[in-house]
Chain A
Amino acid sequence: MSTGRVPFELVIPYRWSYGGPLTRFFEETKRNRRFVGARCTKCRCTLVPPPVVCGRCFAPLEKDLVPVSDQGRLETWTTVRFSYPGQPAEPPYTLGLIVLDGASNYFPHLVKEVEPENIRADMRVQAVWNPAPQGDLLDILYFRPL
């Protein structure tokens, strides 16, 4: 009488809706190679990408999206050195939380063209735009030091 394992690969197809704000955000990155954010009517902070509501204030966002610079500061980063399925790149690669100039929330993305030991907190970084954008996060290839 043995105990064992039953193998099974769960495969579930999904069709996720982008929804209004994200559709407009990625139209701008694709068509105009620029970031847009939404400004909270209460705390006046600009959030990128535009969310459904300013979570902190639960206050509505201004209807018109505002353009936001593609430069900013790298608040924190990590160089990933171990591999796991579904990674954005082959290790080692560096992930960062970027706060774009004019925005006030984290925008996560890859950081390249700098050795990990040379990265400093809050260093200035600049988006590198994809020459063939598809309207998704890879419209920005990565951020590099300014």
Chain B
Amino acid sequence: MPPKVACVGIGITEQKSKWELTLPALYRRAAKLALEDAGMKWRDVDSIVIGNSPELFEGVNHPEKWIGEAVGGYGKPLYRVHTGGSVGGSTTIAGYVNVASGMYGVTLALSGNKLNDCAHATLGLSTVYDPILGRYNFAAGAVSFVALQARRYLSKYGYTERLGALVAVKNRVAAGRNPTAHIKVPDNYDVDMALAAPLLSDPLRLSDCCPQSDAACAMIFANESRARDCRGPVAWVKGACAVGEGLYYAERDIAVPIALRKAARTAYERAGITNPLEELHYVEVYDAFSYQEPIWYEGLGLCEWGEGGHLFESGLTQRGGKLPANMSGGVLSSNSIGASAMIRKAEAALQVMGKAGARQVPNVSLALGHGWGGGLQFHTLMIFGRDP
């Protein structure tokens, strides 16, 4: 059994379109929030792992070489993780691995980005596809690729555009209770208002799509003895897993995330979970686009393939439901591509620690945070528990 590791401190900056800070200063802000949350000083950190979204988004190659000294990295072990949109998740896992390996007692993991320093963020996105095959940007842009996923999901299982609007309402309204969320909608935001939003890439309307935010997130992981020294509540890592699938492989069904199902099965095994729908008390999925939430429910094994929409419509994942999901407002309300996959795990940990403020859900002792990246390929998961 791997050694016990806990998340002892979390820092999430405001997620907004313009930060008047350099990239290192933005990461430093998240690091200071996390140290304060953990009641720790810079010198308590033994190693650092930095995640950042694709370099062409910000135009700085190996940005950890510039960011490192601003987050206490001078003279410390430090390296960078990068797996596209899931980078926040894989950086969180790398932070956990640094401690669980026994090499370090306390590790600071950070991830984020300043996409708005790029005049056309979509230009950065269009470099995600193989230059020769994607040359005419046929599969370019996250929006169109996910739109293809959404359309496939609707036509395969018979759901309508109303499902997207329902998800948009749940998460956009939930964001009202999250001080760091980017988009705030009026309290009376409803399905009709969501359905009235302009179509961007059928079936995705503006209401179904995430905003472009800048933010940074920091999570501090500690081994058992260092975690016991922390005075506040901590969130114990029960299971962590990241699995990848191909892009255009044989018999791929873009609406059936088999890599997520494999990652979930492995993470549940490590966490000793046999029935996730019953045993989990809180979930944060990477809902960059509304239709993805029910698809990720299926990948997480909360229901059978095709039943994600019905699970959502049952109200079970609403505030007050048996398994609330994305009470932070999710990626649909704030998307800093570099930070979002870590923020999903941070929100799950905050719920377990009882430190989620206005968005706190009662008695959460087991919570899961998800993240995806690449061409709908990489899925990262971390499960937190209240007890070691």
A22 to B131, CA, bound (A): 12
A80 to B139, CA, bound (A): 11
**Which residues from chain B sit less than 8 Å from chain A, CB to CB?**
20, 56, 59, 120, 122-123, 126, 131-133, 135-141, 143-144, 147-152, 155-156, 198-204, 246, 248-252, 254
Residues of B within 8 A of A137 (CB): 133, 135-136, 138
Q: Given A22-B132, A136-B135, A137-B133, decide whether A40 and B126 contact each other with a Cβ distance below 8 A.
A: no
CB under 8 Å from chain B, chain A span 39-89: 40, 43, 45, 47, 49, 51, 54-57, 75-82, 84-88
Residues of A within 8 A of B126 (CB): 84-86
Query: Could you pull out 15 A-B pairs where Cβ atoms are within 8 angstroms?
Result: A8-B59, A10-B59, A40-B250, A77-B202, A78-B148, A79-B202, A80-B201, A84-B123, A85-B120, A85-B122, A86-B140, A87-B137, A95-B148, A105-B248, A137-B135
Contact A86 B123 (CB under 8 A): yes
Residues of B within 8 A of A77 (CB): 148, 151, 202
Q: Given A22-B133, A56-B246, decide whether A82 and B148 contact each other with a Cβ distance below 8 A.
A: no
A78-115: contact bitstring with B at CB < 8 Å (1 yes, 0 no)?
A: 11111011111000000111000000111111100000
CB under 8 Å from chain B, chain A span 1-41: 3, 8, 10, 14, 16, 18, 22, 40
A78 to B249, CA, bound (A): 21
Contact A116 B202 (CB under 8 A): yes
Residues of A within 8 A of B201 (CB): 78-82
Contact B251 A56 (CB under 8 A): yes
**Of A47, A84, A97, A121, which contacts B254 at CB under 8 A?**
A97
Contact B141 A55 (CB under 8 A): no
